[in-house]
């Protein structure tokens, strides 16, 4: 019986199954595709049912869950490392971490840690690339006193000088290892090839930029961005909605909403140059490969088709073509995958990657390119398409697997300005993708001519290839030129001229 026959059979059986409460016969079907399932009854929660506004306009999402005596409160803040001054790269990130680490105006850093630890409260703060935030997790019985600590940190961080000095020295010490791991090198250099060297996402802190940061800089950065006008709150767990809203109202009372608007996240102004780029790390036995080009934004009308297309190519783990070919067929790598990120503020990346023994890097790369090519020339098989669609449709409910996940999803969408209406149509949009549409988006959104192929590892062994399979050569696979990238000084990030 072929896969297609089984499916037809299963679809017919499903029609019958709908009429029956449970399968009647206690028989075991000879193949799992002959199993009969009841329809999954799941209606996603609505953002609007959990959205509240405080009197000062601050939005709060609350999702109650009383199963365990635990409560979580978090806040997302409009800020980010994209706002770092050019000579003080690292300021945003340090401000974010030192809010939590540096105590408050009235509680010393050590004492703050001690109080939080005694209450077994998880309190954190951070500033990432395009947002910042703080979070609290605690036992319900301690929520009141934990909120005291949390809001004191949020509003009056102490930025202890000693803690800041320690964090700065750790940051500088950490730079020493920048060129150690092939994954670090890949992350940094592939980013520069994709986004250019001036975009905030590829700008690196240096010894000088970190040393230049002072406590006053942290205080000013915090004051500028941490005010209720930039907040969205998320509350979940063992809380009462009315009571927690009153708590937040009270605790934000008198905290002025700032008038200055936060500048938009800048898109990179850069077009990647296709080609093969090599970094030499003579003493590793595994080569690490990343290849890709620019992708799409989150609002792209083709995003669902692209999602399914990439899932079949390399996103779907053990079932995806890349892993099946590279790992199972050829035994060349432990993992191989691709991602097609739909960017929030600017186009994300299409990226495929794997690690393989130096000798087999070229062969594995050729397989990945072949599979990308095949996506653009052949219709995917019905079974692949059904499996991929089935996966997305049936795992949709996992996005709401906890109160915290649900509240976080809603707040994240509001923060990035996404209409939650997409949740209602998500499953239908996925389910309607056809094999022809997959082929169409593969042709339009995968482009072998535009690929940047990045390889880090023992170049001598990698370029020599596999003596048993001399037909595979890495250089021959390049869609453009071949360049070597030298490793930068890890403290200044200056690149030696090649």
Contact segment (CB under 8 A) with another protein among 179-187, 417-425, 443-451, 474-482 equals: 179-187
Q: Contact 276/290 with Cβ under 8 angstroms?
A: no
| 118 part of the interface to another protein, by CB under 8 A | yes
Contact 222, 155 (CB under 8 A): no
Which residue, 76 or 478, has its beta carbon nearer to another protein? 76
Residue 266 sits in the site that holds another protein (CB under 8 A): no
CA–CA separation, 157 and 155 (whole Å): 6
Least separation, in Å, of the C-beta of 206 and another protein?
Answer: 11
DSSP assignment letter at 104: B
Does residue number 464 form part of the binding site for another protein (CB under 8 A)? no
Contact region with another protein (CB under 8 A), list: 47-55, 217-225, 361-369, 384-392 = 384-392
Stretch that binds another protein, among 73-81, 153-161, 217-225, 438-446 (CB under 8 A): 73-81
Instruction: Say which residue the tokens 């009571």 belong to.
Output: 243
Which strands sit side by side in the sheet containing 70-77, from one edge to the other? 51-53, 59-64, 231-237, 70-77, 132-139, 122-127
- Strand 70-77 and strand 132-139: pairing? antiparallel
10 Å CB burial of residue 64 (0-12, 13-18, 19+) is middle
Compute the distance between CA of residue 125 and CA of residue 133 in angstroms, rounded to an integer: 6
How many residues bind another protein (CB under 8 A)? The answer is 128
- By beta-carbon proximity to another protein, the closer residue of 17 and 448 is 17
Q: What x-and-dash track marks residues 422-461 binding another protein by CB under 8 A?
A: ----------------------------------------
Q: For another protein, which is the closer residue by CB, 322 or 478?
A: 322
Residue 402 within binding range of another protein, rule CB under 8 A: yes
Which of 386/478 has CB closer to another protein? 386
Q: Count other Cβ atoms within 10 Å, centred on residue 59.
A: 17
306 binds another protein (CB under 8 A): no
- Minimum CB distance to another protein, residue 53 (Å): 21
For another protein, which stretch binds (CB under 8 A), given 150-158, 299-307, 389-397, 475-483? Answer: 389-397
**Residue 67 binding another protein, by CB under 8 A:** yes
393 in contact with another protein (CB under 8 A):
yes
Site membership for another protein, residue 334 (CB under 8 A): yes
How far apart CA 275 and CA 460 sit, in angstroms, is 19
DSSP H helical segments within 22-90, as ranges?
47-50
Shortest distance (Å) from residue 281 CB to another protein = 5
Nearer to another protein, 194 or 478 (CB): 194
Q: Phi and psi (nearest 5°) for 137?
A: -130, 130
Binding-site member from 13, 52, 56, 119 for another protein (CB under 8 A): 119
Nearest to 343 by CA among 195, 234, 455: 195
DSSP string, 180-193: T-HHHHHHHHHHHH
Residue with tokens 């915090």: 222
Choices 51-59, 124-132, 255-263, 440-448; region in contact with another protein by CB under 8 A: 124-132
Q: Compute, in degrees rounded to 10, the torsion defined by CA atoms 441, 446, 448, 452.
A: 170
Stretch that binds another protein, among 251-259, 280-288, 371-379, 431-439 (CB under 8 A): 280-288
What residues numbered 7-46 form the site for another protein, per CB under 8 A?
A: 22-23, 26, 28-33, 35, 37-42
Pairing of strands 231-237, 70-77: antiparallel
Contact between 97 and another protein by CB under 8 A: the answer reads: yes
Cα–Cα distance, 80 to 78 (Å, whole number)? 7
Q: Which two tokens stand for residue 241?
A: 């909605």
Position 390 contacts another protein (CB under 8 A) = yes
According to the binding rule CB under 8 A, does residue 238 interact with another protein?
yes
Does 177 help bind another protein (rule: CB under 8 A)? yes
Phi, psi angle pair for 61, to nearest 5°? -100, 130
Asked if 340 and 413 touch (Cβ cutoff 8 Å), the reply is: no
Name which position in 91, 239, 362, 442 contacts another protein (CB under 8 A): 239
- According to CB under 8 A, which residues from 180 to 209 bind another protein? 180-188, 191, 205
Examine residue 412 and tell whether it contacts another protein (CB under 8 A): yes
User: Minimum CB separation from another protein for residue 178, in Å?
Assistant: 9
Side-chain-side CA neighbours of 394 within 13 Å: the count stands at 10
The helix or strand, by DSSP H or E, that contains position 395, with its residue range, turns out to be: helix 382-395
Q: Pick from 4, 11, 53, 141: which binds another protein (CB under 8 A)?
A: 141
Smallest gap, in angstroms, from Cβ of residue 480 to another protein? 24
């Amino acid at each position: 019986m072929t896969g297609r026959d089984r499916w037809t059979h299963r679809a017919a059986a499903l029609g019958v199954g709908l009429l029956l409460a449970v399968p009647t016969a206690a028989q075991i079907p000879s193949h799992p595709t002959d199993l009969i399932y009841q329809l999954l009854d799941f209606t996603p929660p609505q953002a609007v049912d959990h959205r509240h506004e405080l009197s000062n306009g601050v939005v709060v999402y609350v999702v109650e869950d009383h199963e365990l005596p635990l409560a979580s409160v978090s806040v997302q803040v409009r800020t980010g490392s994209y706002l770092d001054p050019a000579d003080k790269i690292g300021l945003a990130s340090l401000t974010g971490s030192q809010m939590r680490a540096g105590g408050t105006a009235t509680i010393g850093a050590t004492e703050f840690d001690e109080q939080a630890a005694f209450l077994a409260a998880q309190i954190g703060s951070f500033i990432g690339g395009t947002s910042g935030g703080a979070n609290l997790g605690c036992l319900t019985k301690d929520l009141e006193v934990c909120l005291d600590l949390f809001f004191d940190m949020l509003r009056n961080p102490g930025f202890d000088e000693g803690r800041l000095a320690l964090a700065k020295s750790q940051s500088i010490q950490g730079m020493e290892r920048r060129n150690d791991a092939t994954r670090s090198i890949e992350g940094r250099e592939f980013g520069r090839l994709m986004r250019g060297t001036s975009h905030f996402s590829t700008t690196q802190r240096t010894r000088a930029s970190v040393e230049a940061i002072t406590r006053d800089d942290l205080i000013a950065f915090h004051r500028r961005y941490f005010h209720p006008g930039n907040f969205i709150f998320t509350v979940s767990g063992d809380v009462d909605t009315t009571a927690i809203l009153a708590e937040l109202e009270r605790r934000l009372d008198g905290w002025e909403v700032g008038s200055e608007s936060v500048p938009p996240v800048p898109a990179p102004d850069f077009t990647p140059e296709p080609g093969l780029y090599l970094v030499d790390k003579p003493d590793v036995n595994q080569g690490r490969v990343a290849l890709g080009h620019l992708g799409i934004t989150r609002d792209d009308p083709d995003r669902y088709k692209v999602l399914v297309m990439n899932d079949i190519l390399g996103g779907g783990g053990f079932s995806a073509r890349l892993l099946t070919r590279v790992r199972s067929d050829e035994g060349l790598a432990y993992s191989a995958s691709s991602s097609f990120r739909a960017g929030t503020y600017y186009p994300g990346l299409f990226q495929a990657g794997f690690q393989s023994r130096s000798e087999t890097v070229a062969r594995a790369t050729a397989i990945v390119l072949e599979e990308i090519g095949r996506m653009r020339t052949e219709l995917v098989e019905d079974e692949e398409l059904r499996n991929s669609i089935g996966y997305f449709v049936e795992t949709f409910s996992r996005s709401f697997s906890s109160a915290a996940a649900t509240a976080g999803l809603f707040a994240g969408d509001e923060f990035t300005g996404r209409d939650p209406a997409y949740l209602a149509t998500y499953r239908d949009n996925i389910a309607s993708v056809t094999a022809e549409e997959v082929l169409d988006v593969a042709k339009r959104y995968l482009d072998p001519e535009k690929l940047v192929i990045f390889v880090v590892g023992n170049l001598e062994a990698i370029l020599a290839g596999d003596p048993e399979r001399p037909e595979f050569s890495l250089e021959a696979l390049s869609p453009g030129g071949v360049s070597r990238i030298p490793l930068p000084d890890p403290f200044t990030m200056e690149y030696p001229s090649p």
